């Protein structure tokens, strides 16, 4: 069965970086896009960025340009999301999710979420 | 960026009654190539990641009960729950995937 397992909760100081992993299993990793979203406490969903199936191309939401890096390690079927220059309002649950299929931008498999707290 | 606006922000519906949530996009999300709309609906319960209900505006995801249906085209879309069940209490989001990706602000559905 398809599974996306994310790394554990993180607490970071303002200005630091955080790197969250998303390990996929149960399907051919290089056939699907993986997206990253976040959800601040009590707030809605915020799309952050996306990695293409081969791991050669990313797109990012404009609000995260320059601070967000998504990478793919094909050998371990793992995607990584790194957010730098953290601010207090980056405190959120971060999710990775897999697209239904290439060409369908909806996501139907989600990781469990990783809570990132930015605190001094 | 395409802005997605949902209405209402919250609603309360009696068990067994119909629930309707609307979603409006700031520009059309209709693909001319396949005549499909790049619009999805998700359900999120507290403490859980969202769950995909509908994509292409009206295609139900596998395993989703048929009381959930999606309709609309272009810029105006609707999620309908035909007969509300207790387990449908959740926050519902629309998402466009026509041009990059954006979510609506969410609609909280409660039992009246």
Task: Identify all chain B residues contacting A100, using CB atoms and an 8 Å cutoff.
Answer: 52, 55, 61
pLDDT tens across B33-42, in order?
A: 999 999 999 9
- Indicate whether A103 pLDDT > 90: no
Contact yes or no for B72/B39 (Cβ under 8 A): yes
- Secondary structure of residue A16 in the 3-state scheme: coil
> With an 8 Å Cβ cutoff, are B101 and A112 in contact?
no
Which residues of A have a CB under 8 Å from any CB of B? 35, 37, 44-47, 50, 59, 61-62, 95, 97, 100, 104-108, 110-113
pLDDT of the residue at A102: 86
Q: Within 10 A of B38 (CB to CB), how many other CB atoms are there?
A: 24
- Would you list the DSSP string of B52-97? EEEETTTEEPTT--TTEEEEEETTEEEEEESS--GGG-EEEEEEE-
- Secondary structure of residue A31 in the 3-state scheme: helix
> With an 8 Å Cβ cutoff, are A106 and B95 in contact?
yes
Closest residue of chain B to A58, computed from CA coordinates: B100
Residues of chain B predicted below pLDDT 70: none
pLDDT of the residue at B12: 98
């Amino acid at each position: 069965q398809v599974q996306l397992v994310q790394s554990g909760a993180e607490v970071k100081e303002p200005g630091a970086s955080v790197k969250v992993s998303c390990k996929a299993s149960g399907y051919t990793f290089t056939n699907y896009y993986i997206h990253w979203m976040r959800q601040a406490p009590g707030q809605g969903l915020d799309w952050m960025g996306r990695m293409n199936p081969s791991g050669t191309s990313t797109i990012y939401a404009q609000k995260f340009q320059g601070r967000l890096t998504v990478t793919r390690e094909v050998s371990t079927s793992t995607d990584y999301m790194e957010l730098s220059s953290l601010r207090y309002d980056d405190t959120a649950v971060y999710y990775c999710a897999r697209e239904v299929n290439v060409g369908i931008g909806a996501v139907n498999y989600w990781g469990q979420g990783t809570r990132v707290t930015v605190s001094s | 960026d395409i802005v997605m606006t949902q209405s209402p922000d919250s609603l309360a519906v009696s068990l067994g009654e119909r629930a309707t949530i609307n979603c409006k996009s700031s520009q059309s999300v209709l693909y001319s190539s396949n005549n499909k709309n790049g619009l999805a609906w998700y359900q999120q319960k507290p403490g859980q990641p969202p769950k995909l209900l509908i994509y292409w505006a009206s295609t139900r995801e596998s395993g989703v009960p048929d009381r959930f249906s999606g309709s609309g085209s272009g810029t105006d879309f609707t999620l309908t729950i035909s007969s509300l069940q207790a387990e449908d209490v959740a926050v519902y989001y629309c998402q466009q995937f026509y041009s990059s990706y954006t979510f609506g602000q969410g609609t909280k559905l409660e039992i009246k």
